Amino acid sequence: MKKSALQIARATYQPKLPKALKGPMALQEGAPTQSVADQAEIQKLFPNTYGMPVL
């Protein structure tokens, strides 16, 4: 199958890494979260992630 010029250009494209991601990074863990209403119901729906801290 012959590739079009667009397919060739897409295959050779090298995305550039943003400056913000080039330097050292560290995650900061915030306080645990909760919903404004229906906490018990939402916790049942998302038992593995409800209440996780913000990163």
The answer, yes or no, to whether residue 55 has pLDDT greater than 90, is no
**Model pLDDT, residue 1:** 87
pLDDT one-digit tens code per residue, 12-49: 999 999 988 888 888 889 999 989 999 999 999 999 99
Cα of 19 vs its chain's centroid, Å: 18
Specify whether the CB–CB gap between 28 and 53 falls below 8 A: no
The number of angstroms, rounded, from the C-alpha of 15 to the middle of its chain's C-alpha atoms is 18
Would you state the pLDDT for residue 4? 97
Q: Residue 53: phi, psi to the nearest 5? A: -75, 155
Quote the pLDDT of residue 52.
93
Give this prediction's pTM: 0.48
CA 48 to chain centre: 17
Where helices occur in the chain by DSSP H, the ranges are 5-12, 19-22, 39-45
